[in-house]
Amino acid sequence: MKTDMARILLREILQSYSAGELAHFIGVQTISEFEKLKEREISTQELAEAVFNLYGYEIVANQVLREKLIERMSQSQVETVLGNLTANREVCESSKLQVDVYEALIRIANRWPESFISEMGFYSKLELSAITSQRVAGIARVECGYPLYPYQQDMVLKINRMMNSGIDRKCLLHLPTGAGKTRTAVNIACEHLRQNPKGLVLWLADTAELCKQAADEFYKAWGYLGNRTLKEYLYFSDTNISLGGIDSGFLIAGLQKLNSTRGSENYKILYEKLRQYVSLIIFDEAHKAIAPTYALTVDDMLSHENETFLLGLTATPGRKLEDNSDEDHRLSSFFDNKKITMKISGYESPIKYLVEKGYLAKAKFKSINYDGKKVVVTDAFANQKRTNEIRLALSEDENRNLQLLDVLIREHNKGSSIIVFACSIQHSIKLASLLAISGIKAYSLDSQHDSDETRRYKIAEYSKGHVRILINYNILTAGFDAPVTNVAIIARPTDSLVQYSQMAGRAMRGELSGGNRECTIYTVRDDIPAFRSVAEAFVHWDRLWTEV
């Protein structure tokens, strides 16, 4: 069945659901809030369309929801889908059984869910993997393709000279968000492996997204820059490799996975292997390196016998907004106060150079103002409990949500591709639901409800332009690259320069990187200290470091 026809069929089936069943997907409170904001009732047809836009893929992919869907189909619809599925399969035991057609379709859909998902007009797992180019194999043999911008080449030369000097053993690579830290560091890793045939590069990151990004970058780079075939090891998320087989090559390890094995036999094996072979450690998002468990992991892996070099990567070489922060001093000391940063002659800030040359999009910063009771505090982020209370209060503010909705609808109607950073998981879901009820397709991404598969599906749909709004809480700040994005809406309060810079950076990919000439960064104006200058963020901590 063709994709468009299949999705029309799914819409028709959803319209046979009761208003109460559809409301269960959206949330009664969210629907009530929408009707209050818009001063009208929502029709069952509107609810069905909203459910299709928000949860269409999950309904056909989840077994419980899928079986309920099949039960709601008419007999002719069941016979059509069943006929298509059996016609496309040489052997189908279920179709030969003398059973009710509904039972037959449920059996086939559960036995071959990928076929049913495709028949209903959605990507299968294999198609999603091809679209998103996210490999999850434990070991891959790498072979061909890479370039660097001139400023990246300059950074590579400086760091390679430092590594080869034998004097310094630690350094921080400091590049603005969107300027290509990963690509620059992967080039350094390739040069190191060319010079050290028996060397092992260990890449550390704290999220699966960052690990996958590094794995894909190295896979592409070594084919162009490598001088031999070597092994790439993936040790993060649900990947599973034999730790005892690690020797030379490139290893991407998730910090959380390493920490979860601490004290186990597996960790002892990995620890000994890394101590024996590792010659370069690259720590992505290095401002997190002084977290106690992460710092301990780095100390475990450093080998003085191999003169292991530690290279940190960050766009923001600090952690706190206030001056003379102990955490900032500890971070600087962790990397021996050595930093190689981007300096361009004739430019006050490298951000201006990157924008002028088209590496970054020119950002227009706008505020979203709203009337109503605001949360006024001077120590907004003093403790986690207070922070959560503030975010909950903001996410439930009707005037605030109405202004957000208006901006989203206006930008969507202009053709923008939008990333939204919500106050919480519940806030993210609520905003996506309000948009869906308004007739606009949007996806919410969160760590509680999305599987790796549904997350890849939603990101693929966004990257291909099939949906133009992605809403999330704390997922898409780093390790996510979608050059199509030209609007970022920061709807969550933050006093973190690091976090603000990362969120704004999602929309700042320039034309030379497949992005846009201009972008817009919206920040909701809450009565909470917030940070609003990416250029200032780049130089905020310079006083703590020695430029190399």
Q: What is the CATH number of the domain that holds 371?
A: 3.40.50.300
Q: Are 336 and 467 contained in the same domain?
A: no
pLDDT reported for residue 200: 92
Write down the pLDDT at residue 218: 95
- 450 located within any domain: yes
* Residue 187 domain flag: yes
Q: For residue 368, what are the β-bridge partners?
A: 524
Which amino acid appears at position 390 of this protein? I
- Residue 421 phi, psi dihedral angles, 5° rounding: -105, 105
326 in the same domain as 236: yes
Same domain assignment for residues 145 and 105: no
Domain boundary among 312, 342, 372: 342
Q: Please name which of 100, 104, 125 lies closest in space to residue 113, comparing C-alpha atoms.
A: 125
Number of domains in the chain: 3
**Residue 353 covered by a domain:** no
Q: Could you say which of 122, 149, 175 is where a domain stops?
A: 122
Q: 111 and 177 share a domain?
A: no
Same-domain pairing of 325 and 393: no
Q: What is the pLDDT of residue 475?
A: 80
Are 217 and 295 in a shared domain?
A: yes
Q: Is the CB of residue 203 less than 8 Å from the CB of residue 479?
A: no
Would you tell me how many other CB atoms lie within 10 Å of the CB of residue 45?
12
pLDDT computed for residue 90 by the predictor: 41
Nearest by Cα to 176 from 322, 317, 333: 317
> Looking at the structure, do residues 337 and 369 belong to the same domain, yes or no?
no
Considering just the CA atoms, what is the radius of gyration of the chain in Å?
A: 25
Q: Does some domain include residue 544? A: no
Look at residue 130 and tell me if it is in a domain: no
Query: What residue numbers bound the domain in which 403 lies?
Result: 359-533
Query: Are both 383 and 310 inside the same structural domain?
Result: no
Last residue of a domain, one of 342, 374, 399: 342
Task: Note whether 39 and 118 are same-domain residues.
Answer: yes
pLDDT at 488 (0 to 100): 92
Per-residue pLDDT of the chain (548 residues; tens, 9 = 90+): 666 776 788 889 999 999 889 999 998 889 988 888 888 899 999 999 999 999 999 999 899 999 999 999 999 999 989 888 887 544 344 444 456 889 999 999 998 888 898 888 887 665 666 666 555 556 666 544 577 888 999 999 999 999 988 888 899 999 888 888 999 999 999 999 999 998 999 999 988 888 988 999 999 999 889 999 999 999 888 777 776 678 889 999 999 888 887 777 777 777 777 778 899 999 998 888 888 888 888 887 886 666 899 999 988 777 665 555 788 888 888 999 998 988 888 887 788 888 888 888 888 888 888 876 555 444 444 555 666 777 777 877 888 889 999 999 999 999 999 999 998 899 999 999 999 999 999 999 988 888 878 888 898 899 899 999 999 987 887 667 788 999 999 888 776 777 777 888 888 888 887 889 999 999 887 754 444 555 555 555 555 455 55
Burial of 39 per CB tally in 10 Å (0-12, 13-18, 19+): exposed
Are residue 56 and residue 107 in the same domain, yes or no? yes
Task: Please indicate, yes or no, if residue 491 is contained in any of the structural domains.
Answer: yes
352 is a domain residue: no
Instruction: Annotate 243-282 with DSSP letters as a single string.
Output: GGG--SEEEEEEHHHHHHTTTSHHHHHHHHHHHHHEEEEE
Question: What pLDDT does residue 377 have?
Answer: 46
116, burial (CB in 10 Å: exposed 0-12, middle 13-18, buried 19+): buried
Distance of alpha carbon 197 from alpha carbon 538, whole angstroms: 36
CA dist., res. 289 & res. 411, Å (int): 38
Could you tell me if 338 and 378 lie in one domain?
no
Which pLDDT score is estimated for 531? 47
Helix runs in 166-243, H state only: 181-195, 208-225
In a domain, 351, yes or no: no
Domain co-membership, 374 together with 425: yes
d(CA 541, CA 299): 24
